[in-house]
Each structure stands twice: as structure tokens, then as C-alpha cells.
Homo-oligomer: A and B are copies of this chain.
Amino acid sequence: MNILSTAIDDNFPTGVHELMFVPTIEGQGNEEQKKKWLKISRNFDIIGCYAQTELGHGTFIRGLETIATYDPSTEEFVMNSPTLTSMKWWPGSVGHTATHAIVVARLITKGKDEGIHLFIVQIRSLEDHNPLPGIKVGDIGPKFGYFGTDNGFLHMTNVRIPRDHMLMKYAQVSRDGTYSKPPAEADKISYAVMVYVRALIVDHSAETLARAITIAIRYSVVRRQTQNRPGEPETQVLDYQTQQFKLFPLLASAYAIKFAGHYMTKLYTEVTEEISEGKLRSLPELHATSAGLKAFCTELCCSGIELCRLSCGGHGYSAASGLPQLYADYSSSQTYEGENTVMLLQTARYIFKVCKQNMPQAQLPSNVAYLAADYPKYKESPVSDPKHFNDPHILLEAYRQRVIRLVAVALERYSKSIATGLDSVAAWNNSSVDWTMAARAHCHYLVLKAFHSSIDAAKVCEANFNIMRVLCCLFGLHGIIQYSGEFCLDGYMNSEQIEMAKNQLYFLLKEVRYEAVPLVDAFDIHDDILNSSLGRYDGDVYRHLYEWALRAPRNKKEVHDNYEKYLKPLLKNTKSKL
């Protein structure tokens, strides 16, 4: 299904079935449940969705209002949506496609609220697809993008499901309604599924940005605008420094995010192996990393798509460019699977805890070891020549020192608030903007690190190695320019060094210029997938824009129906004019 869904723009109504429904049963179902559900799911005898978010709650899961009350007399759960805001809202496929839903609801048994648990609820008849009694489902209506997905609502009134439809790997309800708590570590383990999905999202960010930058760079060599010297042809817009400054850092970012995705998948595999050996120590780090990287990479990808679109001038605004839909669809990745600000705050929370523990480097996971109290806070950057920035270690150290300083600022603001008598909640809030800055910077560092170690580790030929190294430095330098104030914090870098970074960046833009097209070709995205008149491999942009336009529904008739209805009365003066 994967290639297929890429081809039809990642908009497949059964996507959630495979990405969320099946993996959740795998992760949270007991052996019997897995036997019962997985085969028929994988065979598409049923189609599932994942119904967590409600009209009133997305981020705050403990606030969900849907209720599953256990009735020992029939050994069933009675599912209810007691309020307007408790209605499930947003789940993909619930509108018209799904026959079953994993419903996240509060479990009530023996009169006690045992908190959030997962239940499998059949919502439509397998005979005729009609909603079952007590179920009200529908589409939540038009959205920015994802037109192909029926994000929907689900309201339940006294819907009864058998006891074994609660996913019982960790917590159980016995026949008489006795509740057994999940083991303490279950919560952490369930992070693992989230981490997996977030790694997929990061991978997907890389692919998506690769598509956008392929379109923008290919078009920028076809597009010529302005004759800058008499007698010479007009300039290819990719030769403008401003255009290179928009696009080449994004090209580097597409590669950077790709490597960050690889890194996350590797981390995920390692940690799940550890889990299977009963070691849970790395889970918090894994969780914090995945939350932050999800936020960082989706944000970078989304703003990148828009910059690509804008860099195509007027034609970027046409649907023929492929860029509007790419953006409209993908921009939701900043919100689903954890709203980005909330994600950064979770990463920040972890950083905060690490710092509070005050452990030496050696005892910390490698990603955050540099936040240990005994890691040197260098007074100033050693750079005295633009070329020094060719050394990724110089860049990586600068990124570390930036985070160290941002964390210090956030910690200080937090402590000051505590000192004035505020509680930890208020103090956290008062310093939360600083914490998001620190978390973003930490993720930026992790991405640069992943980029650097991947190309160092990869066995590639000299030429490829060199250009990858250039892109890696370009990525690092662009961040320094973009966040120059943060790199100057507490005097680590100074204006002269920032100027050197800029000089080196401009130098690298020129290096990349003649590699740019091969570098996007290397993403190897087929024209049919790219679906863009501007990004065509053959460069035959203008003819295809025209042919595409001729096929527009509005061009079916020479004179549009609106003429008779609106224009004629206006033009012929048969109606009063405004």
C-alpha cells in the first residue's frame, strides 16, 4: 500500500487502519485479542480507525470525556458520549470508511473511574455499512487539505461491547468487574508505539520536503527572469543569491531530516530491543527525542514547502505546481500526533529533569551528556577564519554551547519565579517560551549530529562524501545565521564570527549551485509522484502548464454558465447596478 499511497498523495482513507489501528492492537492487545483481530484486520475484513481526540480535548488526554461503564450483569462495557464536547472529533476514516474504532475512553467499573483505556467498538454493520444502533458518525467537513481522508465524528449512546473488547495486555477488568492496574512501566512502554509513529512522520517530512525542493530547484533553472547584462540571455533564477539562500539550505534540510529519520528508526529499534530485555532506562530519552524531533522536522518541512512555493513566483500558486496541495496536506503534521509546541515542551521537560539531576556526563544518555554540569561551557568560539566552519566539529560544538546557554537562561527564569514564591506550575509557565527555544535548539543539534555521523559512517565515494559534507556544513551555517542571536548568547560567538559564518555560507551556496540539480535528481522522485508541471524531469514546464490548464473543468465551455446568470444582467443593464 505504501507506494500506492505515496502515488495518490498520502491521502488514503485506510492509512489510519495500517498506521494506528493495527499497531495499537499489536502493542496493547493480549494474545487472544491479537489472534482475534489482527488477521481479519490485515485481511481488510474490517477497517479500523483510532478515535482518541474529542471535540473538547486533543492534547490533554486525561481530560477525555467518553465513558465506558462496565456492566457485570451482561459482561459488557456500555459506551457513552455524555456531552457535546465528548464527541470523538478528527479521527481519520471514521466519517465513512471505518467499520471499527479503537475508542479511547474512561473506564468506570464498580462505580470507580479508573482513567483512560482503549476499547474496540464496531461502528458500522459489516452487512450494509450502516452505522450500528446508538452510533452517530459523519464527516467533520472540509479541511485545509487531506481531501481524501474522511476525518469524522463519532457519538455513542449506550453502545454495548463485550468485555474482551477492552485491550487488556496491561490492565484488565475481570468478569465481576474487578480492575487490575497496569504495571508501572506499561505507560512508558506504550510510548514505544508513539515513537514509532513519530519516526514515520519524520521520514515522511524528509520525503515531502524532498518533493518540494525538487520542484523548486528544477523550475529555478528553467525559469529565467531579468536580463542583467545587455546582449546576454536572461538570468536563470537559481543564479540569484537570494534564490540560492532560500533553496539550498532547504535542500540540505531535506537530507538532514532524512538522516534524522534514520537515526530515530535506529534508536527505536535499539530501545525496543532493550525493552524486550526488560531494560526501560532509555525510554524517557527516546520519548523526549522523538517528541522534539517530530516538532522540529515537521516545522522545518512545512515552512520549507512554503518557501519553495514562493520561490516559484506566480506559478507556484497554481495547483499545477503541486506545491499548494503538498503544503495544505502536510501542514497538519505540525498538529497531529502531538501539537508541536506541546511536543517541544515535553522535550524541554526532559532537559529540565536531566539538569536538575545534576549527573556527570558519563551517567547520561549520549544525546544529552553535554547538558551535564561537568561539560565545559566554553567561553568563546575558536573560529578566526571562515574556513574553520568547514569542520563539522566546530559547528557541533557551537550548537551545543548554544543549547547550554539557552537552558541556563530558561533555568534561571524558572528559579527566579520560584524565588518570588510562585509554584512550579506557574514558574514553568513563566519560563516556557525560553524552554521551547532551548528544546528547539537541542533538536537542531540532534539533527545536525545525525547528519554529520551518517555521512561519516556511510561508505561513499570521495565526490559524494564531499558534497554531503558541504550540505551538512551549509545546514549548520544556515542555522547559525538564522539564530545568530542565540549563538552570540553570553558571548560564545561575536559579530565578526557571525560575519565569517555568513561568508562561508555564501561561499558554499556557489559550491552547491552546479550540484543542485543532480542532488534533487538523486531523490529519484518519479514525475507521476511529483505531479508538478514545474518540477518535471524534462524541464518542459510551459507547455505542460498550458496543457494542464486546458484540461481545467472551467474550460469545458467557451462561455461559462455564470454569464447568463450573473454577467449578462450586469452588462446588459437589466438589473440595477451597485
Chain A residues packing against B (C-beta within 8 Å)? 1, 4, 43-47, 53, 55-60, 62-63, 84-85, 87, 89-90, 95-97, 99, 126, 128-131, 138-144, 150, 153, 225-229, 234, 239-243, 245-246, 306, 309-310, 313-314, 316-320, 324, 328, 331-332, 334-336, 339-341, 345, 409, 423, 425, 429-434, 436, 481, 483-491, 495, 498-499, 502, 506, 542-543, 545-546, 548-552, 554-555, 558-560, 562-563, 567-568, 570-571, 573, 577-578
Contact = CB atoms under 8 A, between A and B. Distances in A.
A303 to B, nearest CB: 9
Contact of A139 (B62, B554, B563): B554
Nearest to A560: B96
Nearest to A487: B485
Oligomeric state, in number of copies?
2
Given A45-B571, A143-B324, A430-B506, A332 B317 contact: yes
Contact of A558 (B131, B339, B484): B131
Contacts of A335: 310, 313-314, 316-317
Contacts of A573: 43, 45
B96 A562 contact: yes
Given A84-B542, A310-B334, A484-B485, A559 B129 contact: yes
B324 A328 contact: yes
Contact of A542 (B55, B90, B331, B548): B55
Contact of A551 (B4, B85, B141, B551): B141
A431 B131 CA distance: 64
B139 A317 contact: no
Contacts of A431: 241
Nearest to A423: B229
6 contacts: A55-B546, A60-B225, A97-B562, A138-B552, A139-B555, A485-B485
Nearest to A559: B129
A314 B336 contact: yes
A130 B558 contact: yes
